[in-house]
Chain A
Amino acid sequence: MNNPAVIRLVADNFVPVALNTDRLPAGQDGQFFRNLMRQWPQGLWVVSADGKTLAHHYHRPRPGESYQAGQDRWLAETVGMIEAGIQAAGSRPKRTFEKVDALADRGTGFAPDGGVRVAVSVVGFQKGRREGPPAVDSIKLAKDEWSAFAVPAGKDGWDIPAAVGAKFAPALSPVTDSIYVPKPGDVQKAELSARVVRRDGDLAIISYAGCWEAKHFRDGDPRFPIRSAATGDGVGAFDLKANALREMAWVLRGSYDNGTRWETAAVLEWRAAK
């Protein structure tokens, strides 16, 4: 979906919608999309406003096909599907729309309940060479969890609860498919600490450090264990007057083994305002 031609075709011709099939609502609106899943449980569709499938594509790797050849074929077939959908729908003027970003809160601002959504991205390396696209993800922290990163009254050093540190689990896997990503419950070790390293008027600079270990099974199957570990450090800029973090950033480096061993690097970022 990062290809410029695909972006233009989709943005110019359709109302684009991206949905988690496990979170479709009950009722007619959810059923509209569940009907598509009778054809295949996931993928890309062009659908008329009254629910008729005009085109569909789901990428299936072919045995013996190289990764690049598979990617090239996936792109070509996706463009072909979109063009078939445009033709089936009939001619329409180019769509005009206001710019929207469904991930606008990723890595910035606060949720209505005072929680935050920390932006996470993870890349993987094999034998020192970066492999595959970055895994784009986020970590949602409730208000009380987020407060663990703030300077406690009367202290310059503190530990962050393991349960909060375990929420960093998405940062431990470079794979874009979520079945290969540990969940907080899979984290066996999450030791995080923080200390104020500098004060300057109403600003406190916080230094964070952490280490993690996780073990989980792909699809819950003990025949497919996945082990990951990481250490990392971060910095927070804390407003002492407002008693709130302005910004926080971490870099983690680690390892990931799903039968193939990877080195990993993860970045976590959040700021109060864009």
Chain B
Amino acid sequence: MTRFLLCAVVLGLIPLAVGAVEPELDAVLKRAAPFRPSTADLAYREIPWVIDPAEAIRQARAEDRPLFVWLAGGRKQDGTPLERC
């Protein structure tokens, strides 16, 4: 019985546990793969950016440490330098 169930799973007759990707989604994600940002494209997210001005100033004063400030804008719209701004 166990061997039968194992074969059925291998043959895709029984879905794997929660988290399996549906084939239709898998197909579109495969097409998307060449156009997605790579890990290197998103490496800047390794920096622990603060996006609240008050919190940034609070941390800097609490740690007696300077700020690294990235300011962007001038487009009169929402957004963050961490994305298009």
Contacts and interface: CB of A to CB of B under 8 A. Distances in A.
A10 interface: yes
A103 B81 CA distance: 11
A24 B63 CA distance: 23
Interface in B45-77: 45-51, 53-54, 56-57, 59-61, 63-77
Interface of B: 22, 24-25, 27-29, 31-32, 34-37, 40-51, 53-54, 56-57, 59-61, 63-85
A47 B67 contact: yes
A194 interface: no
A11 B69 contact: no
Given A18-B51, A32-B57, A247-B25, A49 B84 contact: no
A22 B57 contact: no
Given A15-B56, A178-B85, A22 B74 contact: yes
Nearest to A25: B53
Given A121-B37, A198-B24, A207-B24, A179 B69 contact: no
A134 to B, nearest CB: 5
A176 interface: yes
B81 A19 contact: yes
Contacts of B81: 18-20
A52 B1 CA distance: 74
Given A170-B84, A265-B35, A16 B68 contact: yes
A44 B48 CA distance: 16
A250 interface: yes
B45 A101 contact: yes
A203 B20 CA distance: 13
Interface in A154-184: 170, 176-179, 181, 183
Interface of B is mostly: mixed
A136 B24 contact: no
Contacts of B57: 29, 32, 49
Given A11-B48, A54-B66, A234 B28 contact: yes
Contacts of B22: 203, 205, 235, 237
A49 B35 contact: no
A156 to B, nearest CB: 15
A18 B70 contact: yes
A106 B44 CA distance: 15
Contact of A36 (B71, B73, B80): B71
B48 A33 contact: no
B67 A233 contact: no
A2 interface: yes
